[in-house]
A and B are shown apart, each in its own frame.
Chain A
Amino acid sequence: DAKTTQPTSMDCAEGRAANLPCNHSTISGNEYVYWYRQIHSQGPQYIIHGLKNNETNEMASLIITEDRKSSTLILPHATLRDTAVYYCIVRRRGPNAGGTSYGKLTFGQGTILTVHP
């Protein structure tokens, strides 16, 4: 699976949009971009994923560049409860996902997002 690069930490004011970048310049055509987050002392929580089109759900939006070498997770109106470590993960999925078809998540170091009042 392709490696990702994320900033170590970011700050955001409450109520403002939080834009978290992720670089995945070695991504291949059958690899998806996933975002999970982990609030302190809790298990990771799925946020969103996409292949090449932009995606939006009730939690966030995912913007993937046309060349798919980078993406941005957008939390439109950050709250204090969004303070967490955000992980960008690139991985294959489906019957051809690495031969064994297992859904391995390889977490990088992630971005520590701190939302300030």
Chain B
Amino acid sequence: DTEVTQTPKHLVMGMTNKKSLKCEQHMGHRAMYWYKQKAKKPPELMFVYSYEKLSINESVPSRFSPECPNSSLLNLHLHALQPEDSALYLCASSHDLSGRLTDTQYFGPGTRLTVL
């Protein structure tokens, strides 16, 4: 099973709302990622978690708050977003970050977020 699932598929929220995106994988992967993809642009890395610890934050604004409650789950908490944050949010996972084994990243289908 090489599936990464993301919920919800679509989300519409106002600028004062608080919402969360969820990502799940059951491949035993210990590295998980959040990417953001604006329309007609390539994906851009936001966060990397390694063994449930935040490893990389690519200077993402604090209105995006990631959380990795266990090795299978990755959340992205959203608060006070702006309309320009509307995008496809992609989650990915890989075996780990060591590179000793395959480091293929498996992506979920994404959550299409619209901020009004």
Partners in one complex: yes
What class of interface size applies to chain A in its complex with B?
20 to 34
Supposing A43-B4, A43-B110, A94-B98 touch, asked if A103 and B43 sit within 8 A by C-beta, the answer is no
What class of interface size applies to chain B in its complex with A?
20 to 34
List B93-116 residues whose CB lies under 8 Å from chain A: 94, 97-100, 103-110
**Does the CB pair A105–B105 fall under 8 Å?**
yes
Across the interface, B42 reaches (CB within 8 A) one of A94, A101, A103, A109, namely: A109
Q: Is B81 located at the chain interface by the 8 A CB criterion?
A: no
Q: Taking beta carbons and an 8 Å cutoff, which residues of A are in contact with B?
A: 38, 41-46, 49, 87, 93-95, 97, 100-110
Ranked 9 nearest A-B pairs via Cβ:
A43-B107, A94-B99, A107-B42, A93-B99, A46-B104, A103-B103, A44-B107, A101-B97, A102-B97
Q: Taking beta carbons and an 8 Å cutoff, which residues of B are in contact with A?
A: 4, 31, 42-45, 48, 50, 55-56, 90, 92, 94, 97-100, 103-110
Q: Which of chain B's residues have a CB closer than 8 A to the CB of A105?
A: 43, 45, 105
